[in-house]
Chains A and B, each alone.
Chain A
């Protein structure tokens, strides 16, 4: 579970300064920003562009290209359900459906109480034990109905 900080320019400047001297600093800065603020605010894009001597459009283009970077703060917990081939082969469709229903939210959405954001992920590299999911950074494999229900309960806690 993450406790994100509200966006603050000083804090953002600190993050930028930490990585600025690295080659290809954009992605490390964006990751750090997202870990801190839960998303990439437009104000941060402007600051990054200035600091790295890039155009705003360029940084914006980078942010929007990658599935990882968010426009909004996610729910308290993020549940990623694997929807790739190996997990489909091992009954993952039914498991994903079940979790969506239980949590009352579709893949890509956040529960109304903002407890859980549920997303599809395309392979977690755990396909030896499909179907799989990841709750924040904790991984789960060989999901069956019982384990899927327990995982949903854990996510909602």
Chain B
């Protein structure tokens, strides 16, 4: 029997050389006449160990990593096909603390199954949620999702069940499910990993949403920067159609649902839900005024559920194991688990799915291992380019929607970007304004003009031109942007700017007591 070897096809693993490693292992095995089968799953999410090579043994998968090309001969010499000793031998992958200590509900299959194999999917409890959903019917599905406490993972944290109920109750000849896979936030990659590593589950989640609200058509809008995810989703959709889990009368039920991939075109603002809908319609991705909500007047004017990848990805599990089980995880009004993404200058970069409530300090210092540079952590940006910068003095903040809001921050899509003590926070504040200026959809003045003004002000402050006065103008400008912008691009850019100024005034040449005095 051939030995099964697992080498990830996740874009992150490929970016670290997994393709070359897979080829070299295949070639070497052939030369040596060894019978192996190479499977290409998603990634386990421990990227400091990628390219990770896992060998299937009776006791489980033995990991070796990070494997470089010139390690391959040594691995064969060490008889790695039988789990032999080698300096890169990590033991059983699932026993590595970073992996073992997670609560993998949404990421249960990622890094384990072959994402191109619907058989693998079915063999690992795939479609259990969908079968239950078909038996339950729309009302009960909505009820379950509401009871689970699931909140939107795209950033705003809106209760998913309530959104679904609104669309369920709307009457219209056509409704849509839209999956938001625009994942533009720096420091986030969980959507990408899920699409690449478990695409059938996302399709299943969208199908359940379709049944719940009476939508027969879905779109997944994937950013163009994600060619591997686009390929994975397209391949999975074709297989699901062949299998009868997409299309008419799904699994022999009265329900029909089909979907397709649409590709974005490099606009960050198109992650905002109404801008995304306009983009899907073929227009400029300008933000729409709300109301009307997309749930009432959405894609092509029809009632539309728009949810993030991780929100829809949580659904099959919620249906399969029950709402009670899911909502037992977490704290306060933040229920269930969140795949947190550790990024930036961090030693152990990757995805860490855990119940809400873990503190920022545990994430950065313990789970993430501190900085990769080995220097002290100075700041952490949580929640993407619109998220606040937190200093280590706020590391006791638990990961939860309300906990972060209470500290003038947000968890957004769960990205945590670590900076060491070489960071210049005035530069980061300027970058936030610049990013807003470049990506603004242009619809409202505080965002479009304000962000350019903000860049100029930052330049003056850094150059020590009228610093004290300009800092006051900057604060005023942030207030105008915060309260006068139509969407969170203009409205939340003040978060990174003001948090940088509040927590790191010395980088702005400001007197640290200035802000206290102003209060």
Contacts and interface: CB of A to CB of B under 8 A. Distances in A.
The answer to whether A and B assemble together is: yes
Interface of A: 23-28, 30-31, 52, 58, 61-62, 65-69, 80, 84-91, 121-130, 132, 134, 137-142
Interface size class of B (residues with CB under 8 A): 35 or more
A26 B184 contact: no
A130 B350 CA distance: 11
A100 B286 CA distance: 33
Of all A-B residue pairs in the complex, the 7 with the closest CB atoms, nearest first, are A26-B282, A128-B349, A66-B265, A89-B344, A84-B186, A127-B343, A141-B15
A139 B262 contact: no
Nearest to B226: A125
Given A27-B265, A66-B285, A67-B266, A126 B431 contact: no
B265 A130 contact: no
B376 to A, nearest CB: 14
Interface in B333-355: 341-345, 349-351
Interface string B263-296: 1111110000000000111111110000000000
Contacts of B50: 129
Interface stretch (B57-65, B207-215, B323-331, B415-423): B415-423
A64 B184 CA distance: 19
A25 B15 CA distance: 32
A128 B47 contact: yes
Given A85-B385, A86-B415, A89-B417, 14 more contacts: A31-B224, A31-B263, A62-B282, A65-B285, A89-B418, A123-B188, A125-B189, A128-B45, A128-B342, A128-B351, A129-B48, A141-B12, A141-B47, A142-B15
A142 B343 contact: no
B192 A125 contact: yes
Contacts of A134: 225
27 contacts: A27-B262, A27-B280, A31-B224, A66-B267, A67-B266, A67-B267, A68-B266, A84-B186, A84-B385, A85-B187, A85-B344, A85-B385, A86-B186, A88-B428, A121-B266, A123-B187, A124-B11, A125-B225, A127-B341, A127-B344, A127-B349, A128-B349, A128-B351, A130-B349, A134-B225, A141-B47, A142-B16
A139 B15 contact: yes
Interface of B: 11-12, 14-16, 45, 47-48, 50, 183-189, 191-192, 224-228, 262-268, 279-286, 300, 341-345, 349-351, 372-373, 381, 385, 415, 417-420, 423, 428, 431, 435, 439
A141 B227 contact: no
Contacts of A23: 300
A121 B417 contact: no
Contacts of A31: 224, 263, 265
Contacts of B415: 86, 127
A89 B341 contact: no
B507 to A, nearest CB: 15
A47 to B, nearest CB: 15
Contacts of B344: 85-86, 89-90, 127, 130
Contacts of A141: 12, 15-16, 47
A68 B186 contact: no
Contacts of B345: 89-91, 130
B70 to A, nearest CB: 14
A125 B11 contact: yes
Nearest to B442: A65
| Candidate in A52, A87, A90 with the most chain B CB atoms within 10 angstroms | A90
A129 B15 contact: yes
A119 B16 CA distance: 21
A128 B343 contact: yes
A35 to B, nearest CB: 11
B225 A123 contact: yes
